[in-house]
Structures are given as C-alpha cells and as structure tokens.
Structure 1
C-alpha cells in the first residue's frame, strides 16, 4: 500500500536526521515487546514527540493528534499514513477512544500522551481516560520518558532537531482487571499510577506533579481532608 511505502521512507529518514543533527539516545529498547498490542505512555513536551517516538520505537506505532492539524486532503493523508488519528481535545472524543481500542485489538502499538497537551515545565496530571483504555483493552503498558524536546516547539523542527534528546523506555506492566464500573476516583488513581511509571524514566526536575515531593504533599493534603 502507498501508506506503508510512505511510512517506510519517513522513519529511516527521521532516524538519519536525528543522528546527524541531535545527540539522540534511546535507552531500554530491550523492553519493547516484539509483537502484540502495547499502550505506549509518554510525557509530552513538544510537537516533535510523536515523530521522535516513531523513530525511537522499533515497531510501527500509531497515535492521536489534535484535530486542528488535519488541514486539507494532503496533510490529512500524510498524517493518516504516518499513523495519526484526529482527536478533539476540547471534549471527550468517543470516536478517537474507539479508534485507540480498535488498534489495540488488532495488536498494534498505540502512543498516548495522557497529559492531553504539552507540558514544557514538568509533567501535569493525566486525564483519567488512559485508565479506562488500559482497563478495557488489558494491553501491556510501556512507559516512556522523553527528555530534551521542550526546546523543539514546532513540527518544522522534525527537519532540524538539535541538542541532547533522550528517550528512556521502562519495563512493560499491566493494569489488573476490575469488576463492575470503575469510579472516577479509581480511574484517577490508576492514571496516576501509570504516570508515576513514566516519571520514573525522567529526571526529577521534569517529573512535575509526579515527583516524590509532590506525591508526598498530595498524600498529606488527602490525609488532612479525611480527618
């Protein structure tokens, strides 16, 4: 298919660009399952993150991209060929949710950025939708920490990524199934647990709300409220 041909050209080209212009390093490649569904969870610092992960993960990956990027037939075709699907970030996008679950059922790796938008100053709290996807799909979860892309603001930096860029891939894990309909509190707790695995792949200064001190402070506040 033409879309497969485009992807096979783009990814080696992206890897070549990264090797030429950036100090690019990928740690933990041995943690990537060679086959089967994977939910790849990562922090989100830049528009460069999706193509970076496409180049760093040794499997064809699929991901969500904000709907406003899909402008015109040519760009829409290119993004779709690259593995992207539009998501409306202003509301719960059931169509995008179903697309993710469907790709996982097909045994494909799907990249998700649970923060919902870029967080250059440190990780922000995840949206609870990631927990729902993990519970429904029961797919393996691969935590990935991205360091150094906060300086690369626009998609055009795909052609000129500079500086030190590191991708840390942690061990896979899974969320055990639960009976009945999960409460919002449970979904938020599971989402936080998933993101803490991502934070473990990052230096403390960009863990944001998931650094150890922030977690301890949140626990203290929770204990105070329950008294």
Structure 2
C-alpha cells in the first residue's frame, strides 16, 4: 500500500467516527484523463475529506507555509501535495499543476484561495480558470456542505464535469471560466444544502 492509500485509510478511520459523511455524485468523476477538481473551502479538514472521498488520487496545491511545519511538512509531498506561494505568481507551482493535468491525473484546488468564515462562497481566483484552460483537463465541481459538527452530517457532492473544449475553442478568458466553475459549485450548494 502506498503512502497516499495509507493516508486515505488513516483519515477515513480517524474522521468517520466523528462525522457522518455522505458522498453524492462520485459516479460523475471521470475514470481517466486530466481533471481539475474545484471545491469550496469551509474548514481545515476540507483537503483530507476531499482526498478521502474522491474516487481518484488527488494532487493538492497547498500553501507553502504548511511544508515548513515539523510533522506535517515532510508528509505532504508523500501524499501528492505540492507547495504554492500565496499572493504572487509561482511559476514552479504553475508548471507542476499543468504537468500533472497534462499527464492525465487530478489536481485539487480551492478557487476561493482561503477558507470562507461564514460558509458563503466567495469570488474565485482566476488561477482556476487558467489551469482548466491550459491543462487539457475538464473540471469537476465539488461542494462541501457542513457544518463540521461532531456526529453531524457532512456532505461532499461531486457535480458533472464541465467540458472545457468549448471555452478553449472560443478563447474564453481565465476569469470567465473561473466564474463558470464558481457558478457550478454554487448550484451544487443550492441544490444539496436543503436536502
């Protein structure tokens, strides 16, 4: 068992007794090809929860500071996370994400760039649209619906993939694509929050 699979099992074992996870739409996840997985961000547990519930291995962009932490730092690269500098153009992170997508794998990111303190979806950063357009990948929107309260339900909803080819053909901007991604996440939040 590789470290990613071990970590996934470990997270599932640690979190499943605390929260009632409901995964919806896993069948929407393409079985192959590059995928940009975009989710809303409401809690520090979002990355491991998405990694635990996604049907495929996810390579997460994580803020550079996390890689400097004593225990967590050395583990992150082993579970397919790679660092990104916040607040500036990080060419190395851009190259890494595009390489993963073009190699037919999954990159996970939270387009809001930071956690939403009130649970309301914020404006997405244009990087999401950039990766979707340049990475030869389609986008799977994901809605995480909490709150993370002990023994309460946490829903993780995977929507139908957004095909990027039409956007590429008409040379859509990264901002336009990001807006479409955020609208898809919002639609999932609207549809499943009340159920």
User: Are 1:143 and 1:171, in contact at CA under 8 Å, matched by a contact in 2?
Assistant: yes
Superposition deviation, residue 89 in structure 1: 1.0
2:132 equivalent to 1:134: yes
Instruction: Tell me how far apart the structure 2 counterparts of residues 120 and 205 of structure 1 sit (CA, whole Å).
Output: 20
What TM-score do you get using the length of structure 1 for normalisation? 0.76
What TM-score do you get using the length of structure 2 for normalisation? 0.88
Q: Which residue of 2 aligns with 1:44?
A: 41
Instruction: Tell me how far apart the structure 1 counterparts of residues 7 and 133 of structure 2 sit (CA, whole Å).
Output: 33
CA deviation map 1:118-163 (0-9, x unaligned): 11321110111111111111311101000115x47xxxxxxxx653
Structure 1, unaligned stretches of length 5 or more? Answer: 153-160, 207-227
Superposition deviation, residue 84 in structure 1: 0.8
Q: Which residue of 2 aligns with 1:99?
A: 96
Q: Which residue of 2 aligns with 1:217?
A: none
For the pair shown, the structure with the greater C-alpha radius of gyration is 1
Instruction: Tell me how far apart the structure 1 counterparts of residues 31 and 192 of structure 2 sit (CA, whole Å).
Output: 32
3-state SS of the aligned residue for 2:108?
A: strand
Instruction: Tell me how far apart the structure 2 counterparts of residues 48 and 193 of structure 1 sit (CA, whole Å).
Output: 25
Instruction: Tell me how far apart the structure 2 counterparts of residues 80 and 173 of structure 1 sit (CA, whole Å).
Output: 28
CA deviation map 1:58-112 (0-9, x unaligned): 2111111111111167533200111111111121212111111000111111101
Which residue, 186, 197, 201 being the options, matches 2:188? 201
Instruction: Tell me how far apart the structure 2 counterparts of residues 203 and 134 of structure 1 sit (CA, whole Å).
Output: 23
Which residue, 1, 8, 33 being the options, matches 2:30? 33
User: Are 1:170 and 1:201, in contact at CA under 8 Å, matched by a contact in 2?
Assistant: yes
3-state SS of the aligned residue for 2:125?
A: coil
Structure 2, unaligned stretches of length 5 or more? Answer: none
Q: Which residue of 1 aligns with 2:143?
A: 145
Q: Which residue of 2 aligns with 1:63?
A: 60
User: Are 2:34 and 2:136, in contact at CA under 8 Å, matched by a contact in 1?
Assistant: no
Q: Which residue of 1 aligns with 2:175?
A: 188
2:149 equivalent to 1:172: no
Greater share of residues in helix: 1
User: Are 2:133 and 2:174, in contact at CA under 8 Å, matched by a contact in 1?
Assistant: no
The answer to which of 66-75 and 81-90 deviates more is 66-75
3-state SS of the aligned residue for 2:177?
A: helix
CA deviation map 1:29-66 (0-9, x unaligned): 11011122111011111111110011000211111111
Write out the 4+ residue segments of structure 1 that deviate beyond 3 Å after TM superposition.
Answer: 72-75, 203-206
> For this pair of structures, how many residues does the alignment match?
190
